[in-house]
Amino acid sequence: MDKEKTGLLIKSARLQKGYTQTELGDILGVSNKAISRWENGDSFPDVGILEDLSNCLDISIEKLVSGESSEDKEEALSELLRIVKIQARDSVRRKIDIISNIIILIIILIRFYFAFVSGKGYSWNFKYDIVFLVICNLILIGSTTRKSLVCEDKRDNQYRIISLITLLLFVASVVIMIGAIYYLDLLAVYVAPENYGPLLSKILGSITLASIGLFEYEWYKLKHMKIVAASAVFVSVANVFLCISYREWMGSLVTYEDALQSIGVLSISIFIVLIITMVVMKYIQKYGKLK
Q: In degrees to the nearest 10, what's the CA dihedral of 181, 185, 189, 190?
A: -10
Whole-angstrom CA distances from 263 to 237, 242, 247, 282 are: 19, 10, 11, 28
Q: Residue 56: count other Cβ atoms within 10 Å of its Cβ.
A: 16
User: Rounded mean pLDDT of 120-134?
Assistant: 79
pLDDT reported for residue 31: 87
DSSP 81-93: HHHHHHHHHHHHH
Local confidence band at 37 (pLDDT 50, 70, 90 cut-offs): confident
pLDDT reported for residue 155: 46
Taking a C-beta distance cutoff of 8 angstroms, is the pair 248, 265 a contact?
A: no
Name the region of 195 (left: φ>0; alpha: ψ -120 to 50; beta: rest).
alpha
Residue 189 backbone dihedrals phi, psi, to 5 degrees:
-70, -35
User: Rounded mean pLDDT of 171-181?
Assistant: 87
User: Rounded mean pLDDT of 134-151?
Assistant: 70
pLDDT reported for residue 163: 82
Regarding predicted confidence, which is higher, 54 or 150?
A: 54
Local confidence band at 52 (pLDDT 50, 70, 90 cut-offs): confident
Q: Which domains does the chain have, with CATH numbers?
A: 3-71 (1.10.260.40), 94-286 (no CATH)
Regarding predicted confidence, which is higher, 174 or 179?
A: 174
Q: How far apart are CA 31 and CA 184, in angstroms?
A: 55
pLDDT at 231 over 60: yes
Lowest mean pLDDT among 43-52, 119-128, 191-200, 233-242: 119-128
DSSP 38-85: HHTTS----GGGHHHHHHHHT--HHHHHHSS----HHHHHHHHHHHHH
Local confidence band at 217 (pLDDT 50, 70, 90 cut-offs): confident
pLDDT reported for residue 146: 47
Summary mean pLDDT of the chain: 78
pLDDT reported for residue 34: 86
